[in-house]
Structure 1
């Protein structure tokens, strides 16, 4: 009897978690609103279970009695008339975004300006940006220049405590110390690997700031995944706009006999690139509803296209009996392809209604994951064959490790997807798996940055 009660409570908590995730995806619902709604829901469930209903029945009746989210949104809008999203809920106008504090824009501008100025400090100290030494320096520190101000912005916005801020600072100091004190030559493989993986490691550190230090919360980790997808969209848009600005700057000044090449190469491009990191993050926070309408559409467009491409590639491999070339550039292409597939999967999961039943798009995603899994196996066979023949190097070891990590993720994701589509597993299991796997990426990225250089003699 006790076991049945424990199982019922566990199932009830799973149902409430799925309901909570659905509520929090509504842009008109602030976190405090969602928490208040959950308190109401739990109170109704408690009353119904005390009256003798089974927890499952109590949950369904309580949700039904609370009404639709549209009705609840209107109720909250009337009670909180100072919020900008009242126009969306009551009149249907496009929202300007959630209410922002008056200080948020100046703080964002200050952090973006700090990033832009920080990347110029080495030049002011005598490091010529056109020299080989400067190229090596900026290769090592590009991630630090871009992401430290972003972490500071989120630390201020989320009002992080001293302990969490100290942890963030420690990780940034650790990364800066490693890449700048290890005796890696400018053309060494370990330097290139560290330069690639340090921004990934620091981005996950930024994630700790983004979730307000609540990294153990699966829902908050999923929020960060959603933010990452939206951030990439906005940064790409800013980069396109920056390209247009650069072209107009060059064209207009050349027309009057002034060569702006130095200004563009040493000021506009480097300062704009790092400042745009903070600006893009602020835009995601300020205009979430716009991007959350865009990103799921992009996911639904590119998922079938990538699925068709991967299936066509596997068909070509089977028809020609060709093997994958293991040259460095080819491996990079395949790893990027697998990362894009994983990104599509992650963002589709973050944008999906957990309560919705399996549909055609879920089956399409399963086909995409299985296709990527097969390609990953083919790549691993090629890599292990190369290592067996020529031995381990930093690049081959990094490629081996990354493809093994992706293999584990894709394999278990395919299994969970299959279970969900067959009605044997709840959708929440997929979300939990992906959010928990972020820790694996973090550990691997820091391993490449901190362990690989001395392990391979800084070569």
Structure 2
């Protein structure tokens, strides 16, 4: 039999979920949300006094809030498996949502064209390939961030502070006196490589501040950005695959007529198509928020067991590869990439899970996945420390060591919270909040690698 405290906890989680959803609606301000929540709680109290239990009262109260039909309808579509569709799904109002979507499409296309023009100018003005790679994220991501700011109506002060913070790594990667490795074929130094590979991570997390409309402290907003990032990756992959097929067929047909498509692709299609695909994919993710079907739960259930098998195989490879001092450096780099991929999968899986659903076998699979990742991380850390003890510190070894330590803390506490959840000792919200609370640590670490490592290792 359900106790009164348990019912109260369930009701508070339902209200918290509703509040988080309403916060994502760009036209509703924080004071309005508080007023709406007060009204919702009053409705729930009245319904409970008439004999309904807390869950029934919550669902009926949302339906009765007639001035929130549009928001409630979207909420219903994302939670249709929990009777939302039957209770609050009402016909769309003519003109409103469609007109807004067309306006958003037009603004997105304007930002996409702007990004393409900026990339075209950069490619025309810069001959050095390394300089082009360094500056490409600083040219493309501001347009995506600008679209975030427009859509979320971020305050101009937040936009200004975010732009100022993004300018710091941009100046660093362009003004630092990086040195090249000596030899017949000079190559960029390791600190330069580390700087331009970590700068996009920092920029992406800064862009998340604008995606949240400046409400980065909100757990729901940060989790929404995690969900957005995962779905954006899926859409980009689909767009890339579809574009490759279409371009391949087009090039094959034109080649029969003696037309070479390669110059057009290099001069125009790639400079405009790549940043354009990023903006289009972002728009698609935001546009499908109101669609009932969500691919996230399906993808996470398919890839979680596969990732677990991959980690077990990687762990076996690390353990049977001989003494840890002989572990190949490239193998350790690949292991780090695998751990980062597993982390993305973990974040995406958690963002896609219904926090009110009971525990199941998939939660145990996630716990096993995190445990296997911890084992791989521990072995990789041991190998790195052994190599550092024998050969000394270098920029890339220090960066790899730091990343593994950051991942270790994240995965270890995630495992502890997941263990408590599957054993019924903690709510799933504790697991969720840890993921989003830890995201700023990655931004800090990326900033350290970009700004501190080059002078620390003499720009080599």
| Same-fold call, TM cutoff 0.5 | yes
1:75, distance to aligned residue in structure 2 (A) = 7.4
Q: Distance in 2 between matches of 1:361 and 1:458?
A: 46
1:18 aligns with 2:18: no
1:43, distance to aligned residue in structure 2 (A) = 2.7
* Structure-to-structure mapping, 1:340-359, within 5 angstroms: 340-359=341-360
Secondary structure of the structure 2 residue equivalent to 1:287: helix
1:120 aligns with 2:120: yes
1:116, distance to aligned residue in structure 2 (A) = 0.7
CA contact (8 A) 1:380 1:400 kept: yes
CA contact (8 A) 1:44 1:62 kept: no
The match for 2:226 is 225
1:344, distance to aligned residue in structure 2 (A) = 1.5
The match for 1:65 is 57
Q: Distance in 1 between matches of 2:323 and 2:426?
A: 37
CA offset digits 1:25-62 (Å, max 9, x no partner): 879x957598676334433577799x9xxxxxx9x944
Assess, with a 3 A threshold, how the Cα gap between structure 1 residues 194 and 66 changes in structure 2: closer, same or farther: same
1:426, distance to aligned residue in structure 2 (A) = 1.5
CA offset digits 1:360-389 (Å, max 9, x no partner): 110110000000000000000011111111
* Structure-to-structure mapping, 1:228-377, within 5 angstroms: 228-289=229-290, 293-315=294-316, 323=324, 326-377=327-378
Q: Distance in 2 between matches of 1:303 and 1:97?
A: 36
CA offset digits 1:72-110 (Å, max 9, x no partner): 569759955998999983479xxx988735432221111
Identify unmatched segments of 5+ residues in structure 1.
1-7, 52-57
Assess, with a 3 A threshold, how the Cα gap between structure 1 residues 430 and 82 changes in structure 2: closer, same or farther: closer
The match for 1:139 is 133
CA contact (8 A) 1:85 1:98 kept: no
CA offset digits 1:409-449 (Å, max 9, x no partner): 00000001111111111111111111010010010011111
More displaced stretch, 350-359 vs 16-25:
16-25
CA contact (8 A) 1:250 1:259 kept: yes
Assess, with a 3 A threshold, how the Cα gap between structure 1 residues 81 and 319 changes in structure 2: closer, same or farther: closer
Assess, with a 3 A threshold, how the Cα gap between structure 1 residues 230 and 112 changes in structure 2: closer, same or farther: same
1:306, distance to aligned residue in structure 2 (A) = 1.2
Q: Distance in 2 between matches of 1:48 and 1:73?
A: 12
Q: Distance in 2 between matches of 1:98 and 1:416?
A: 42
1:203, distance to aligned residue in structure 2 (A) = 0.4
* 1:158 counterpart (152, 163, 172): 152
Q: Distance in 2 between matches of 1:325 and 1:431?
A: 39
Q: Distance in 1 between matches of 2:270 and 2:46?
A: 61
1:289, distance to aligned residue in structure 2 (A) = 4.7
TM-score normalized with structure 1 length? 0.83
CA contact (8 A) 2:304 2:366 kept: yes
Runs of 4+ in 1 over 4 A off after TM superposition: 11-17, 24-27, 29-37, 44-49, 72-88, 96-99, 289-292, 315-326
CA offset digits 1:191-227 (Å, max 9, x no partner): 1111111111000011000000001111111111111
* 1:181 counterpart (164, 175, 180): 175
1:136, distance to aligned residue in structure 2 (A) = 1.0
* Structure-to-structure mapping, 1:53-132, within 5 angstroms: 61-67=53-59, 72=62, 79=69, 89-90=89-90, 100-125=100-125, 127-128=126-127
Q: Distance in 1 between matches of 2:350 and 2:64?
A: 27
Assess, with a 3 A threshold, how the Cα gap between structure 1 residues 344 and 17 changes in structure 2: closer, same or farther: farther
Secondary structure of the structure 2 residue equivalent to 1:214: coil
The match for 1:168 is 162
Identify unmatched segments of 5+ residues in structure 2.
78-84, 181-186
Assess, with a 3 A threshold, how the Cα gap between structure 1 residues 219 and 82 changes in structure 2: closer, same or farther: closer
The match for 2:402 is 401
Assess, with a 3 A threshold, how the Cα gap between structure 1 residues 255 and 420 changes in structure 2: closer, same or farther: same
CA contact (8 A) 1:323 1:382 kept: yes
| CA RMSD, 1 decimal | 3.6
Secondary structure of the structure 2 residue equivalent to 1:215: coil
CA contact (8 A) 1:97 1:288 kept: no
Q: Distance in 2 between matches of 1:332 and 1:392?
A: 16
1:178, distance to aligned residue in structure 2 (A) = 0.9
Secondary structure of the structure 2 residue equivalent to 1:354: coil
1:266, distance to aligned residue in structure 2 (A) = 3.1
Secondary structure of the structure 1 residue equivalent to 2:294: helix
Assess, with a 3 A threshold, how the Cα gap between structure 1 residues 252 and 399 changes in structure 2: closer, same or farther: same
CA contact (8 A) 2:40 2:65 kept: no
Q: How many residues align?
A: 431
TM-score normalized with structure 2 length? 0.83
